[in-house]
Chains A and B, each alone.
Chain A
Amino acid sequence: MTEARTNRGHDHDHGDPHAPIVADGQPSYYEIMETAIRELLVERGHFTAAEIHRQIDLLDSRTPALGAAIVARAWTDPAFKVRLLADGRATVEDLGISFYDDTGLVVLENTPEVHHLIVCTLCSCYPRPVLGLPPEWYKLKPYRARAVAEPRSVLAEFGTVLPDEVEIQVHDSTSMARYLVLPRRPDGSDHLSEAELAALVTRDAMIGVRLVELPQGSRS
């Protein structure tokens, strides 16, 4: 690790530097490192190249649409919601959504009195089996640092302003304990089907930084 050649130098400033996007496709030192580690471990029989390909396919198959379907089901099926809040992982697995790791899942129900927000202050733990990979801002210092100390101002940056009497509970994820926010079903959505409801549920609402809202003009 003595000849680290970095790829810095692009001039915009953000909390987490990334390699500049290189047009000539020349791999970075770190990309070469990843390739070399993977090839050596495959050659020595620790795992196969096919396992890596399968895991990439699995990662691609996990999107917030899975979480949105779970939320819409909970909104329309009270018995399901009871089970979901009691045992998130087992109830999600019953829907046929596999957990590919050892993580537990706690589903947190927003109510008129309590709003939940999830964060991982130490790194980027996230309910990946049901939401896919986290957004960039979830992994960066500003959100991780501030969510636990000033959640109302963090929410305001996402355009979410809650009444002062609503308690905000912030949940700090760990390598084993992951959280998913069950947002409040929007008023005026009684006429919508489960699938139509699912289409309203965003990734950010299941992190807790936004509310679920009906599109303009669709209230009945």
Chain B
Amino acid sequence: MSDVIVTRLPNDVGGLSAAPIDQSDHVLAPWEKRCHALADVLDFHKLINTEEKRRGVEALGSEIVGKLSYYERWAVAFANILFQKGVLTPEDLAKRMREVERRLAAERGDSPGAGI
């Protein structure tokens, strides 16, 4: 039954059997709304369009798609697509993420570098 992992990419779920629908709503966290706004702005500036974003999520593979939340997948897909397009490098992003983590920790009053 390994053919299904080729014929069905992670996003291609139409027609599969699945669980009952959980109708509870989820209010977006502030960062999730920022992530959505970022997606729109990336599209407006022709950096990443909707279709590229969808394919970028699919390219994460079913394990990551299954384990990350909706906007977590978007963030990782944006990073990978921007690397592929040469807009950012992995080093740029890793360095900035360390800086952001330290800055946010300092703003919260934690000891610098705690938990890193």
Which A residues contact B (CB, under 8 angstroms)? Answer: 1, 4, 6, 8, 14-19, 24-28, 30-41, 46-47, 51-53, 55-56, 59, 100-101, 119, 121-125, 133, 135-137, 139-146, 148-149, 154, 157-158, 172, 175
User: For residue B14, which residues in chain A have a CB less than 8 angstroms away from its CB?
Assistant: 119, 121-122, 144-145, 148-149, 172
| Complex partner residue of A52 from B41, B51, B68, CB under 8 angstroms | B41
- 8 Å CB interface, B8-42 against A: 11-26, 28-29, 31, 33-38, 40-42
- Whether B41 lies near A25 (C-beta < 8 A) is no
CA distance A28 to B115 in the complex (A): 12
| Complex partner residue of B34 from A4, A38, A145, CB under 8 angstroms | A38
User: For residue B43, which residues in chain A have a CB less than 8 angstroms away from its CB?
Assistant: 101
Interface centre among B51, B72, B115 (most CB of A within 10 A): B72
- Whether B104 lies near A27 (C-beta < 8 A) is yes
- 8 Å CB interface, B71-116 against A: 71-72, 75-76, 78-80, 82, 87-88, 90, 92-93, 96-97, 99-101, 104, 108, 115
- Whether A46 lies near B23 (C-beta < 8 A) is no
**Residue-wise interface mask of B (29-71) relative to A, using a CB-CB cutoff of 8 A (1 in contact, 0 not):** 1010111111011111101011100100100000000111111
User: For residue B16, which residues in chain A have a CB less than 8 angstroms away from its CB?
Assistant: 141, 145-146, 149
Interchain Cβ contacts under 8 Å between A and B, 5 examples: A37-B79, A46-B45, A142-B19, A172-B14, A175-B49
In the assembled complex, how far is the CB of residue A131 from the closest CB belonging to chain B, in whole angstroms? 14
In the assembled complex, how far is the CB of residue B58 from the closest CB belonging to chain A, in whole angstroms? 8
In the assembled complex, how far is the CB of residue A141 from the closest CB belonging to chain B, in whole angstroms? 5
In the complex where A142-B22, A158-B23 touch, is A47 in contact with B57 (Cβ < 8 A)?
Answer: no
In the assembled complex, how far is the CB of residue A28 from the closest CB belonging to chain B, in whole angstroms? 8
User: For residue B23, which residues in chain A have a CB less than 8 angstroms away from its CB?
Assistant: 135, 137, 157-158
User: For residue A24, which residues in chain B have a CB less than 8 angstroms away from its CB?
Assistant: 108
User: For residue B45, which residues in chain A have a CB less than 8 angstroms away from its CB?
Assistant: 46-47
- Whether A145 lies near B100 (C-beta < 8 A) is no
User: For residue A140, which residues in chain B have a CB less than 8 angstroms away from its CB?
Assistant: 21-22
In the complex where A27-B104, A136-B24, A142-B22 touch, is A1 in contact with B72 (Cβ < 8 A)?
Answer: no
- Whether A30 lies near B13 (C-beta < 8 A) is no
In the assembled complex, how far is the CB of residue A218 from the closest CB belonging to chain B, in whole angstroms? 25
User: For residue A55, which residues in chain B have a CB less than 8 angstroms away from its CB?
Assistant: 37, 40-41
- Whether B31 lies near A136 (C-beta < 8 A) is no
- Whether A121 lies near B12 (C-beta < 8 A) is yes
